[in-house]
Structure 1
Amino acid sequence: MSAVHGSARLPPPVARNPLLHDSGLLNSTTFISDHRNETTAGTLTRAGLTIQVSFVFADPPRLSYFCVYCLNRYEIPFAKAPKVVSSVEDTALIQVLLTTEDSPQYFLYRARGPNGRPSLDLLPDIHRYSQTEILCVPLGFVSHDNHKQFVMAALSYGTWDGEYNLHTIGSNPDSTWSKKLLQVEIPNGLTANSALIEPTKVIALGGGLLGWVDLWKGMVICDVLNPAAKAYFVPMPKLLPNNNELYGNQYSARPLRDITVSRDYIRCVEFEQVLKLRPTTVPAVTDPWDMDELQDSELAIVPPQEEEEVYDVVGWRLITWYRSLTWNGWRKGSMVHSDDLGIISLPQLGGGSCPLNEPFKNLKTASPTLSDDDVVYLVCMLKEDDQAVWIATIDTRSKSVGEVVPFSAEGTVIYDPTFIPCVLSKYLDAKSDGSQGGKRNASHVPHSRNISKWKKQRQLLSQAELEEQQPLPHLLQHSSAAVVMPVNSPQCV
């Protein structure tokens, strides 16, 4: 088993204005670092080791990031980079796999814990439960009782199309999983197969309502706090023509679509490349009527050639939709065409003084990410396989380009972004500007215990495994599985 351990050199802190930005873009790049600030919270692992999590927020389109560290004097490494599986409202679900464990551990970070401060809780063993119940990724969770309690929820497929099982477990130490059959109400005109989704995202709709979203087909919504409540299906908007022609639900929808909840509305955005048929040169066809003589060499029968249509990308357009839970349809929001935006100025990586000026329509662009207002973030690059990638801010209402920031795309592509929307910062009273905390708070970061148990497990590791361990690189790239995964290849915990 290869392992990652050590500490990472953090980027310099970025000043932020919490009055302007409640939401942000959280990079799933993990820093393994003993970094502490006002967001830091900690708890104990299954083996009794202390683990802590901290966040450093930045104004979008800059990326926020998080740090994880296992506090122990035995230098226990991580088997792989921790990741934020999903983030909903004031909570974040974090997956951690240490070399002392056979299965991942899941922790729930809350910006407002039971005492009003950040907290970190070890969740029940999801992996063990999923050995008998195949749970669909991603998991969802809701807080209740004034954020003192939470319920974690997951779906699994039922026996018939459009039928699901809802699995829930509470936050009390003696809580156990419960399971109930969901009968999903389907809008008139749709079939049960329409509601058979492969969710890649969970959105919180207020109260106990959670929506499991398939960006191609729609979402299954249910109240996880009310066992008697019915579930119902909300279809996604109809695909734009070129997306339907080129993709047709065969690939991940993340390069084209995103969905969020803001100001009591469900909001969806779709991105589409604008295509133009490339003119083809058709060879001249001779007409014997006009010929005085016919050479034998010209009389070969040539079978008709079917010309393959070739299209060029000449720009892009995007459209937003919104709806209330009580509506029976979507309403059009804003529309933006790349021609509306003209020339875009791309700052250089490393802060070079000469930005690149390019027509926006000429850039490779994809993966729209919705903010909690009329802003959409787009990922773009000059050409395929570039390491220089930019995140551009698009105001869909004024049809204008806002701030554009560069970031390194090493290990990723624009069609699989390594960041997810996150609103954790708006629930934190204190600023998290990257400053190092002066001392550890015992209530936030408890002390390790049961080290002897770990030492026994450690002795079981082979010498070959120990020799495999390499120093931790400065950055560990890891995409968030809860947001981006192939729709035709559902994953389970």
Structure 2
Amino acid sequence: MEAFDPFFFPTKVLRVVRGGSMAWVDFRNSILLFDSVPGDSPEVSLIRLPPLMPINNVDSGIPDGPCVDHVRDVTCRNDGWFKFIEMGFPHLDPNDARLNRGWEATMFKRRIIRSDDDCYWQWEPCGTVDSASLLLPAADSCVPDCLFPEIFDYEERKLALNNVLSSFPTLDLYRDDVIYMMTKIKDDDPDGWIIAVNTESKRLEGISPFSLESYHLHRIYQQCDFSKHLINKALGTHLAKDMDKLMDQQPPELATVERAACREEDDVS
């Protein structure tokens, strides 16, 4: 176990899929893992996160640096892995009149439990994707018809994500190859889009617009699921019946509303 960091500021709590374990995440520094929380003597481990990308390692004068929630995310998978992502803006130049807001995101993975013969005890890179190389959705998707001029060049028939600001990458809880991002025209704009990116096929997989009453400096979206324990407690109720229908479907995604709207428009036309 590493020495505890006095500047550990947890910003996310994870339920580790292993009897009673919990993890607190400080996106800048580390993961604090409590093993067997209900037990009398829980084991505590401090897992360091990969170092910040050089472009994100800014000296702000604050002892532990500025908040990095808008460029990092950590999640815990059912298969015994921690997943981590960080995005950066390598081409962003404030002195350039034409801002290139293109981003690059790198993903890492690491086993939760260490074994003697485990070569994945350290963080291992598991993929990189950038906005400039993203392809249009598959031919059987209607997402291109729902794109807005700000993020799609209709003349060139290609994505224009370099013209908008993307932030708050979020790892999918069910699929290794999908991440979500919040995209806006301006940083202080309350309106924008949530995009789903397939990191394996390098394609934009989904998009859904949102509108807030006020500007927020934090992650305003989150993928979620209901515990089977809650469903079992509510057997026979209308909630249980509704949840049974949802559980029979594919894992929930953040960008399904827009696709449904597209299909309705296609049916009408």
Match of 2:66 in 1: 251
- CA-to-partner distance for each residue in 1:129-173, whole Å, 9 max, x for gaps? xxxxxxxxxxxxxxxxxxxxxxxxxxxxxxxxxxxxxxxxxxxxx
Larger % of strand: which? Answer: 1
- SS in structure 1 opposite 2:182? strand
Q: Report the Cα offset of residue 203 of structure 1.
A: 0.8
Query: Residue 211 and residue 311 in structure 1: after superposition, are their counterparts in 2 closer, same or farther (change >3 A)?
Result: farther
Q: Which amino acid aligns with 2:21?
A: L
User: Is 1:242 paired with 2:55?
Assistant: yes
Residues 260 and 278 of structure 1, relative CA distance in 2, 3 Å threshold: closer
Secondary structure at 1:253's aligned position in 2?
coil
1:244 shift after superposition: 0.9
Aligned match for 2:221, one of 419, 426, 448: 419
Instruction: Give the whole-Å Cα distance in 2 for the aligned partners of 1:341 and 1:256.
Output: 19
Distance 1:259 1:215 in 2: 8
Residue among 162, 175, 180 paired with 1:361: 162
- What is the one-letter code of the residue matched to 1:245? V
Q: When the two structures are superposed, what TM-score results if normalisation uses the length of structure 2?
A: 0.68
| Residues 1:407 and 2:210 are matched in the alignment | yes
Unaligned runs of 5+ in 1: 1-184, 187-191, 281-309, 434-493
For the residue of structure 2 that corresponds to 1:221, the secondary structure is strand
Q: 1:228 aligns with which of 15, 28, 41?
A: 41
Structure-2 residue corresponding to 1:371 = 172
Deviations 1:13-65 (A, max 9, x none): xxxxxxxxxxxxxxxxxxxxxxxxxxxxxxxxxxxxxxxxxxxxxxxxxxxxx
Question: How big is the alpha-carbon RMSD for the aligned residues of Structure 1 and Structure 2?
Answer: 3.4
Superposed CA deviations along residues 280-322 of structure 1, whole A, max 9, x for unmatched, are 9xxxxxxxxxxxxxxxxxxxxxxxxxxxxx9954411001111
Distance in 2, Cα, partners of 1:321 & 1:406: 29
* Contact 2:102/2:132 (<8 A) preserved: yes
Q: Which has the higher contact order (CA 8 A, sep 6+)?
A: 1
Q: Which residue of structure 2 aligns with residue 213 of structure 1?
A: 25
Change (3 A) 1:224 1:401: same
The answer to whether residue 127 in structure 2 is matched with residue 334 in structure 1 is: yes
| TM-score between both structures, scaled by the size of structure 1 | 0.38
Q: Report the CA distance between 1:196 and its aligned residue.
A: 4.6
Instruction: Indicate the SS of the match to 2:84.
Output: strand
CA offsets per residue over residues 354-404 of structure 1, 9 Å max, x none?
A: 842240111111001111222110000122333431000011121111110
Q: 1:322 aligns with which of 109, 119, 128?
A: 109
Counterpart position of 2:264 = none
- 1:269 corresponds to which letter in structure 2? I
Larger radius of gyration between Structure 1 and Structure 2 = 1
Cα deviation 1:219-251 (Å, max 9, x = unaligned) = 111121222232111011111110113668533
Contact 2:189 2:215 in 1 (8 A): no
Q: Is the 8 A contact 2:136 2:204 kept in 1?
A: no
Within the alignment, does 1:203 sit opposite 2:47 as a pair?
no
* 1:279 to 1:367, Cα distance in 2 relative to 1, 3 A: closer
Structure number having the greater helix percentage: 2
State the AA in 2 paired with 1:315. Answer: G
Equivalent residue of 2:70, what SS? coil
Structure 2: unaligned runs, 5 residues or longer: 115-119, 154-159, 232-239, 245-269
How far apart, in 1, do the equivalents of 2:95 and 2:188 lie?
Answer: 28
For the 8 Å contact 2:90–2:102, the answer to whether it is kept is yes
Q: Number of aligned pairs? A: 212
- Whether the 8 Å contact between 1:275 and 1:311 is mirrored in structure 2 is no
CA distance in 1, matches of 2:105, 2:42: 36
Output the CA distance in 1 between the equivalents of 2:134 and 2:59. 25
Matched, 1:265 2:69: no
SS state of the match for residue 105, structure 2? strand
1:397 to 194, 200, 216: 200
Letter in 2 for 1:217: N
Contact 1:266–1:324, Cα closer than 8 Å, also in 2: yes
Distance in 1 (CA, whole Å) between partners of 2:146 and 2:166 is 24
How many angstroms apart in 1 are the aligned matches of 2:188 and 2:202? Answer: 28
| C-alpha distance in structure 2 between counterparts of 1:354 and 1:335, whole Å | 24
**Letter matched to residue 410 of structure 1:** E
